[in-house]
Chain A
Amino acid sequence: MNGKAFFIDTTLCTGCRGCQIACKQWNQLPATKTENWGSYQNPKDLSFYTYKLIRFREFMGPDNKPVWYFYQDSCRHCVEPPCKETADEDVPDGIIVDSHSGAVLYTDKLKKAKGQAIVEACPYNIPRVEKGTGYMAKCTMCVDRVNSGLLPACVKTCPTGAMNFGDRDKMVALANERLAEVKARFPKAVVTGLDDLRLFHLLADAPEKYYEFASVERSPALMDRQMALKKIGRSLQELTREWNVLHKLAG
């Protein structure tokens, strides 16, 4: 598969937020007014002005010592993006895919689209609508930088090597290499997204330990039902949550 991909090795991430802030700087996005709500995570969620967010999760581990995970959340640049499928219904070319990099890009035309439906179509809860205008925004894969031979701003900034970027095939290989390297220390380690995304996470633990939408089962059956479900007014996110719960119950 050609095009580019991100590989994020969360075992190396220290949650410094360099990437989150580099994204703001490159895209000249405004800072939003925040409060400390009892966590280092801020802003609390992605928004029209926050394309990339480090999510903090802490819990007591099996050895009775704390565990603190940092999860880098941003658009996965799906190979077959459900947001585009939904947008194409009423606003063709509202969402386009860059042929060189595979970046999924939102255009101004989305102002006319059914924003909420596009948000709900995303299994990862990524797209955001600007209040009042209807414009939509998310991570652009720094396509302007990438198509000029540079790394995305977040990748360039990362001090520890947690963030990697390059040809998709090479990132797949790197992800598998790192998975093999960390298995001894983290037997439960997995890589998510290798099949159908352009953003892979290497996780030391079960995905749901990191974030609700860290891993989403996207079977073909699910994809077909997507359209049907929309008619009943249920979102793919709701379905994802249920799927994860069922998955867990089934052991």
Chain B
Amino acid sequence: MTNHWIDIRNSDCILIMGSNAAENHPVSFKWVTEAMKKGGKLISVDPRFTRSSSKADFYAPLRSGTDIAFLGGMIKYILDNDKYFKEYVAQYTNASFIVSDSYSFHDGLFSGYDPATHKYDKSKWAFVKDADGIPKKDTTLQNPRCVFQLLKVHYSRYDLDKVSGVTGTSKQDLLKVYEMYSATGEKGKAGTIMYAMGWTQHTVGVQNIRCMAMIQLLLGNIGIAGGGVNALRGESNVQGSTDHCILYHIWPGYLKTPKASDATLAVYNKKYTPVTHDPLSANWWGNYPKYSVSLLKSFFGEKATAANDFGYSWLPKLDDGKSYSWLDLFDAMYRKEFTGFFAWGQNPACSGANANKTRNAMANLDWLVNVNIFDNETGSFWKGPGMDPRKIKTEVFFLPCAVSVEKEGSITNSGRWMQWRYQAANPPGEARSDGDMMIDLFRKIKWLYKRDVKKGKAAVFTEPIFNLKWDYTTNGIYDPHKVAKEINGYFLKDVTIKDKTFKKGDLVPSFAFLQADGSTSSANWLYCNSYTGNGNMAARRKREKSGIGLNLEWSWCWPVNRRIIYNRASVDLYGKPWDSERPVIQWDANAKGGAGGWVGDVPDGGWPPMLKPDGTINPKTKYPFIMKPEGHGRIFGPGLADGPFPEHYEALECPVEKNLFSSQLINPTAPTYSTSEDVYRTCDPRYPIVGTTYRVSEHWQTGVMTRWQPWLLETQPQLFVEMSNELAALKGIKNGEKVIVESARGKVEAVAVVTLRFHPFNIQGSVVHQVGLPYHYGWVHPKGGGDSANLLTPSTGDPNTRIPETKAFMVNVRKI
């Protein structure tokens, strides 16, 4: 989230779309409730009327996979009706930037597309730069090649008839949503979006979110209280997991994983350190080498020196052009490209798309280590339905582990708040914490390498093993405080920086002090400031007495405890808040003994406001969007794999033959796979119904924890499929009857929940039905509870992230 949970109570208009907050984040829904008590409005847009919809002031249905059409129509409405926040857009976004003549868009494709590789040459989308290399701008927004005018042209195609024909939403409902939400473009009004997997799990997932980010920039909703772009993370610590980069393409702190062609640290740092020539742009990523070198020092300690590139060559690199995402991993496993697998705290047999492919892939492994709390479909894959254990040679090790309340550590929530947690109970029996297991595992691995070397055996590439700094135990036991401090970072020698003196071994107070010369370490620059000489900031528990809910002394958030990011956009050019009732920061000219300073939230950089009181530019200022090299929020986004403007494409498996917006039916850059299990059927009469997957309040992820909990299972005992009365009548299906749901890849047995919360859609003049299933079930337990909905879903996903498209695919339903 750019904002945080409590801040939602500050909103005047909350859009729940691509998520079902009341259902899946019930505790946080109380902040929505607080906003509504203060007069805020709630809009729910969802293919199905959900528990969130039941609380909304207005509900509009839309067909799964058509969010860009819906939002594109909103952009058109905002522009046509002058609802955008003019000063904000002109000054803080790249709406004024001039785009080079090599950019164009025609019939569903942006310029630079190579049909042979299915990739774009993004250099075609560059900005026009002046002699100093700074993007040329027209702040009157009139130049026909400026982003604002190109935006207008692009979304002029998203008229109500087309949008309605694609989404199945009535024009009346579209207008109502657009009207309600765009009212937040008014100065002093705040609109927020709460989204989750309903937006991300598509072949156009990233563009869905881009579209909303653009709307928020147009309406001036970024950086203000009650605004922002707010992802409801799907797991209580997945924010922590992405921050610390348990994903192949990033290093901790969202640094980039190097490619094989990034042969040296210098090459790597140069490639990923953006450069700006604009003195008013903070270009915070310009500090990249300080963060990458500090990370390497955390990994290798004293062994990392300038002479050996701080150990850069001891870390794995990605082959150029190759993707190693979840879908690619199981594809490689299926093709027998590797033989061992740790399924650590996850259940891929149920959680990944195309579950049959995943289950069959695991049968190719020599060994599998499943670390989990209960028996599950992954650890027991070899005795699952359709498996013959006699033919499977995979040796499976099940390591029982502690649950979150049985160990000490931190959890980072959707709002970036790192909250320290204590151990409340001992793990039962032989169950151990993950930290303990990793300590033991690495200890043994190191011992085995040493033994081989001693015996004169060829031990390949021992440096990463022998040189890894590994001092995270106290009395031989994993110590989360040592890890947390390492994450924060240390001074590795006595230094003086900015008139402050530090001793070797002191904790670094913030990332502003990290260095690129090897004198500091930090295992995650974003978290530098979380565990300092002042203590464990994540363990703080002081509530604010009054204010907008920032709670600056409750836990700690990144970066440097800034609760609302991009908050320099919450003020006008003089530093005065746009919203005087809910100010985030404001400039106080008398602060700091007359030098002036910001009060409120941690400012997004302490630089003074853009204009001095006399109306001239303050040379010491910086633009508000400090993480972009140009310092401006991106309405035109030249960095993504599938285009600088979101464009509606149908899901890879879709119910229509034509895309009303262009000849390009699907995302031209969407990845697909080619084993015999990778079957895709679009516009196939055998699978005419749109399928989607979702969750319920009472179960958690693939149900590994919750299906074994009798009180939870009592409330939601079995896999079900929700469908409309109309579809049920067509198929002769009665409410509560067991049915089969099938796709090109697999089938499941589910109980039919026939409900008026689903209605058929009118799409381009035809009736299109949609059904939905929760993905919480698996064959291990309970008997008769049903299996995973992911047996139906396709192995395709977003071209930027490769998150699978589990929210829109094609199925059929029939009586048993």
Q: Please give the residue numbers on chain A whose beta carbons come within 8 Å of chain B beta carbons, in ascending order.
A: 12, 14-18, 20-21, 24-25, 30-40, 42-43, 58-60, 65-70, 159-161, 181, 185
Contacts and interface: CB of A to CB of B under 8 A. Distances in A.
B33 A161 contact: yes
A36 B51 contact: no
Contacts of B57: 185
A31 B736 CA distance: 21
Interface in B676-720: 696-698, 710-718, 720
Given A14-B29, A58-B755, A21 B711 contact: yes
Contacts of B716: 36, 40, 42
Nearest to A25: B711
B37 interface: yes
B3 interface: no
A68 B49 contact: yes
Given A58-B756, A68-B51, A68-B54, A38 B30 contact: no
Given A42-B714, A68-B54, A36 B751 contact: yes
A12 B54 CA distance: 10
Interface stretch (B19-27, B124-132, B407-415, B582-590): B19-27
A84 B310 CA distance: 80
B756 A20 contact: no
B753 A18 contact: no
Interface in B37-81: 37, 49, 51-55, 57, 59
B393 interface: no
Contacts of A37: 736, 751
B751 A159 contact: no
A67 B53 CA distance: 9
Interface residues of B, number: 39
Contact of A38 (B51, B710, B717, B736): B736
Contacts of B713: 31, 34
B712 A21 contact: yes
- Sorted nearest first, the 5 A-B pairs with minimum C-beta distance are A38-B736, A31-B710, A38-B735, A31-B714, A14-B22
B752 interface: yes
Contacts of B715: 17, 20-21, 34, 40, 42
Secondary structure call for the A interface: loop
A167 to B, nearest CB: 23
11 contacts: A17-B715, A25-B711, A34-B713, A36-B720, A36-B736, A37-B736, A38-B753, A38-B754, A39-B753, A66-B757, A160-B29
Contacts of A20: 715
Given A17-B697, A68-B54, A32 B49 contact: no
Contacts of A12: 33, 55
B673 to A, nearest CB: 34
A46 B711 CA distance: 14
A19 B524 CA distance: 40
Given A14-B29, A24-B711, A35-B717, A68 B53 contact: yes
Nearest to B757: A66
Contacts of A31: 710-711, 713-714
Contacts of A160: 26, 29-30, 33
A17 B698 CA distance: 7
Given A159-B29, A160-B33, 10 more contacts: A14-B22, A14-B52, A16-B51, A17-B697, A34-B714, A36-B716, A38-B751, A65-B59, A159-B27, A160-B30
Contacts of B55: 12, 14
Given A68-B49, A68-B757, A159 B717 contact: no
Contacts of A69: 54
A65 B54 CA distance: 10
Interface of B: 22-23, 26-27, 29-30, 33, 37, 49, 51-55, 57, 59, 696-698, 710-718, 720, 735-737, 751-757
A68 B710 CA distance: 26
A78 B27 CA distance: 31
A36 B711 contact: no
Contact of B756 (A14, A21, A40, A66): A66
Given A31-B711, A31-B713, A161-B30, A15 B753 contact: no
Contact of B37 (A17, A33, A58, A181): A181
Contacts of B697: 14-17
Contacts of A39: 735, 753
Nearest to A9: B33
A40 B57 CA distance: 23
A67 B712 contact: no
Contacts of B30: 159-161
A65 B49 contact: yes
B179 to A, nearest CB: 16
Contacts of B736: 36-38
A14 B710 contact: no
Residue of B37, B51, B57 with most partner-chain A CB within 10 A: B51
Contacts of B23: 14, 16
Contacts of B59: 65-66
A39 B716 CA distance: 9
Contacts of B711: 21, 24-25, 31
Contacts of B717: 33-36, 42
Contact of A67 (B33, B54, B696, B752): B54
Contacts of B714: 24, 31-32, 34, 42-43
Given A12-B33, A37-B736, A42-B716, A159 B26 contact: yes
A16 B29 CA distance: 11
A122 B646 CA distance: 60
B695 to A, nearest CB: 12
A160 B29 CA distance: 7
A178 to B, nearest CB: 9
Contact of B51 (A15, A59, A60, A185): A15
Contacts of B752: 38
B62 to A, nearest CB: 14
Contacts of A24: 711, 714
B21 to A, nearest CB: 9
A16 B26 contact: yes
B756 A35 contact: no
A18 B754 contact: no
Contacts of A67: 54
B54 A14 contact: yes
Nearest to A31: B710
B710 A30 contact: yes
A16 B54 CA distance: 12
A31 B752 CA distance: 23
A32 B715 CA distance: 9
A39 B735 CA distance: 8
A111 to B, nearest CB: 26
A14 B718 CA distance: 21
A30 B33 CA distance: 33
Contacts of A32: 714
A13 to B, nearest CB: 9
A15 to B, nearest CB: 6
A183 B531 CA distance: 49
Contacts of A185: 57
B49 A36 contact: no
B226 to A, nearest CB: 19
Contacts of A33: 717
Nearest to B718: A36
B29 A58 contact: no
B280 to A, nearest CB: 45
Given A21-B711, A36-B718, A66 B33 contact: no
B49 to A, nearest CB: 4
A17 B697 CA distance: 8
B32 to A, nearest CB: 9
